[in-house]
Amino acid sequence: MSTHNYSTHETSPSAPNGHQTAPRRSKWVFVGFAALVLLILAVEHRIHLIAWLPWIILAACPLMHLFMHGKHGGHGGHGDGPKTGGGK
């Protein structure tokens, strides 16, 4: 009969939050593979991409406006510096 507690043994390195981390090399392999796939798709389907290009540009304008205005505090935050106690 074994009374050894196996819960304290680590089988692989883990991050501080307890999740296992992938090696750096495998992340670069995935990024390279994804870039290659995107390049092949762009080359093979460029006719379709060119046909959709005006619509993509038109859709990008409102999407950027919607998602990027939250970064600087809305429309009232342009050019407003910190208030000083000058009393004017």
- 20 Cβ contact partners less than 8 Å away, ≥ 6 residues apart: 12, 13, 14
Phi-psi map region of 50: left, alpha, beta (phi>0 left; psi -120 to 50 alpha):
alpha
pTM: 0.36
- 69 Cβ contact partners less than 8 Å away, ≥ 6 residues apart: 75
* More confident of the two residues 5 and 47: 47
Q: What pLDDT does 69 receive?
A: 75
Rounded to 5°, the CA angle 71-34-70 comes to 5
Q: What pLDDT does 42 receive?
A: 86
- φ/ψ of residue 9, rounded to 5: -85, 135
